[in-house]
Amino acid sequence: MTDVNEKTLDPVAVASGSGEALWWFGCLAEIKVTAEQTGGKLSVVEITEPPGASAPLHVHHREDEGFWILEGSAKFEVGDTTFDAGPGDWLFGPRDVPHSYEVGPDGCRMVFVLTPGGFEDAIRLMSTPASEHALPPESEEPPDLSELGDQIAAFGCEILEQS
């Protein structure tokens, strides 16, 4: 049953290779759906990472995060568990559980599904608009995590260890 106070949402369709493109810590982040579009329920971001890329150990205090591997591979650490993930694999990182990943030798394309939505605003804060839907040039300098601590904390995220 629908809550009478709940806003009716519009359908959303985003073609492959499109969506808001951002260069985020050496990867391409394509925002596919936002909290605004889903009534706050979720955010979906497609991530393309180069070989050997890694995400620092961090924790989300507001959202759960799912990872769906489309191409390539990555090794994930979620809490005390390590997962080697490849195409078609799905992983779930519950809120308040630290996690990180390291991309395999062929790079990786994966989808982040975050619930509730809103983390796309943190990604925007930590990135620059991409001039094309491709990995950033090597000359593109990622932001310094140590300088973003308070801003990241405002989104309920905490960096525990820099990679």
Domains in the chain: how many in total?
1
Residue 149 parent element (H or E): helix 145-153
How do the pLDDT tens digits run along the chain, 163 residues long? Answer: 556 567 789 999 999 989 999 999 999 999 999 999 999 999 999 999 999 999 999 999 999 999 999 999 999 999 999 999 999 999 999 999 999 999 999 999 999 999 999 999 999 998 999 999 999 998 767 667 667 777 888 889 998 876 5
26: left (phi over 0), alpha (psi -120 to 50) or beta: left
The residue segments making up the domain with residue 53 are 20-130+148-161
Instruction: Enter the pTM of the model.
Output: 0.90
- The answer to whether residues 12 and 31 touch, using CB atoms and an 8 Å cutoff, is no
Rounded distance between C-alpha atoms, residue 85 and residue 129, angstroms: 29
Q: Note whether residue 137 is domain-resident.
A: no
Rounded distance between C-alpha atoms, residue 55 and residue 76, angstroms: 9
Q: Note whether residue 78 is domain-resident.
A: yes
Q: Note whether residue 51 is domain-resident.
A: yes
